[in-house]
Amino acid sequence: MDEREAYQRDVIIVPDNEEKNIEEKNNEEQNNEGKSKKKWIILSAVFLAALIAIGIIAAIKLSDSFPKGYENYTVQKEQYFVEYSDEYDYWDVLTVEYPQLSGIDDEMQTQINQLLYDTAMDRVNYWHLEPSDDVKAFQEEHFSIFASDVNCDVTYHSQYLLSVDYKEYYSAGNPVWMTNGTERALTINLLTGQSYRLEDILEVNREFIRLWDKTLSDDEDTEYADEEDVDLVLSWFLPEENGSNDIFFYNSFFYITEDKDLVIGVSLDPVLERAITYEPVNRSLSARFSLEELEDFKKQSDFWDKYEKSESVGEVLPCTDKKENLWLGESAGVWDWEY
């Protein structure tokens, strides 16, 4: 066998139809590989779309879990006015300004408006409209007139919170010798009608009183309180826990400013004889704080959730035809009296 014959014997001759089958098989494998890649691309896209949809649904549910609050409402200031009613054995002159809310849930609106009115009338009710037997006895001995002048300021209004500050001068018997100044405030949840107390949102303790006194003393350029005075002031803020007496009512308060600072204060309102002052006396003290300054004293409260998410909304309208108090108004003679 020569070299040519040997070579021909070693060569494998593939029939034409078998070559065609191999080519079709390769094409089929390539097609299957392409289909597999396309399938994974589609599955990945579907999975990504599902994740996005889940995220959107979760975001919507999270948003829905926090109430939207009220975007459009109005706070109209009004005035309770009486000038010599002839219903009492003494003169009465009352100019009590208070806010009234409209544009929220009717039931909640009624509840909140009653609270706003009652807070404005607090000292008027105590000394004049709803006197106790002890107050009636005090009236018989001392009253020639009861005058009250209350001015309110809607300091903050958001979709969740309404904050109001009330400042009052009242004369429990005589505008010259028995004039007292006081202050009180409300911060109300518009969704629930809850009025937050200072102790609901902050831990009021000795450390807090030291901070409060330092801030107040710096503002007024006075000396800081010693340890005994810290205990005394703490008893004013927490009279039920730290003791009280029958000389003063202790009323701690706070309100939010338009800059979202908190003004925190306390008022000492006379029970009976301390209403005799011999000159106008104001026993209200307050200091202003940023949120950062109060961070260490914050309590767990839904107030802070509402506070953080609050933005200024709503409209506040001034009192129309507001009257000035003859005895205690800005131009009243009591302020010019020679004491």
Q: pLDDT (tens digit, 9 = 90+) per residue, 167-186?
A: 999 999 999 999 999 999 99
The confidence score (pLDDT) of residue 87 equals 95
Q: What is the pLDDT of residues 193-219, one digit of tens each?
A: 999 999 999 999 999 999 999 999 999
How many degrees, rounded to 5, is the angle at CA 175 between CA 173 and CA 180?
Answer: 85
DSSP label at 74? E
The confidence score (pLDDT) of residue 244 equals 54
Flag whether pLDDT at 115 surpasses 70. yes
Flag whether pLDDT at 233 surpasses 60. yes
Backbone torsions φ then ψ of 204, nearest 5 degrees: -95, 105
Judged by phi (left if over 0) then psi (alpha if -120 to 50, else beta), residue 208 lies in alpha
Flag whether pLDDT at 22 surpasses 90. no
Flag whether pLDDT at 293 surpasses 50. yes
Residue 246 pLDDT level (bands cut at 50, 70, 90): confident
* For the chain, percent of residues with pLDDT exceeding 70: 79
The confidence score (pLDDT) of residue 12 equals 47
The confidence score (pLDDT) of residue 321 equals 94
Residue 214, Cα to own-chain centre: how many angstroms?
24
The confidence score (pLDDT) of residue 68 equals 87
The answer to whether the CB of 239 falls within 8 A of the CB of 267 is: no
Flag whether pLDDT at 145 surpasses 80. yes
Select from 304, 87, 321 the least CA-distant residue to 189: 304
Overall average pLDDT of the 5-31 stretch:
55
Give the count of alpha carbons within 13 A of 3, CB side only: 0
Residues 6 or more apart whose Cβ sits within 8 Å of residue 325:
93, 94, 95, 147, 148, 149, 332
Backbone torsions φ then ψ of 89, nearest 5 degrees: -80, 0
Flag whether pLDDT at 38 surpasses 90. no
The confidence score (pLDDT) of residue 200 equals 96
Q: What is the pLDDT of residues 51-69, one digit of tens each?
A: 665 555 444 444 445 578 9
Flag whether pLDDT at 335 surpasses 80. yes
Residue 28 pLDDT level (bands cut at 50, 70, 90): low
Overall average pLDDT of the 309-324 stretch:
97
Q: Higher-confidence residue: 122 or 30? A: 122
Flag whether pLDDT at 252 surpasses 60. yes
Select from 150, 141, 166 the least CA-distant residue to 276: 141
Radius of gyration of the chain (CA): 38
Secondary structure of the chain: what % helix, strand, coil (to 5)?
45, 25, 30
The confidence score (pLDDT) of residue 58 equals 45
DSSP 88-138: SSSEEEEEEEEEEEESS-HHHHHHHHHHHHHHHTHHHIIIIIS--HHHHHH
Reading the block at residue 160, the tokens are: 């969740």
Flag whether pLDDT at 240 surpasses 80. no
Residue 41 pLDDT level (bands cut at 50, 70, 90): low
Residue 28, Cα to own-chain centre: how many angstroms?
71
Mean pLDDT for all residues in the chain? 88
The confidence score (pLDDT) of residue 31 equals 60
Residue 37 pLDDT level (bands cut at 50, 70, 90): low
* For the chain, percent of residues with pLDDT exceeding 90: 77
Flag whether pLDDT at 164 surpasses 90. yes
